[in-house]
Structure 1
């Protein structure tokens, strides 16, 4: 039983580290060049999550949900910047013309 508790604690440790990296990435000025978490696989733990770790697991889930929402917003902002940078200039380009100033007066 103690081994299952330790195994679940290690799983939560890793999920917390990933959530922290996602939070940092969402606050970053360059979210497009960031952290890539390893694909998550369910742990090979025989027993269920111990009751004393349930609040911690819920907090990890809350942080993941908040980070996911923040990353979605950051990604949308990056896409908007990319779209604006690819758009042709709004003002027509006119050829340069010589300008003269009459200083005889």
Structure 2
């Protein structure tokens, strides 16, 4: 098991209560989004509008919405929380960072 179910449930509940949450894309995720959706405008900061648990396969997932793409449609992405950075002033920022670090470390150990 990669994630601690109680830790995930507690963190998800706190995040859901605080939605929408400001976040910043990691450079790697921003590059991937630009490649997949060239017309999308990526602001420096985005908002997490939904969170859920994808279990050991995906961990905590976050839905991000961006301004309309060149085709006039809203650009919506769902990504693992590990591909986002959060402002240290958020009340749960430390808990998010601990979760991210533990998850990445455990995934590396399993060779994923």
What TM-score, normalized to structure 2?
0.28
Larger radius of gyration: 1
The structure richer in helix per residue is: 1
- Report which structure shows greater RCO (CA 8 Å, sep ≥6): 1
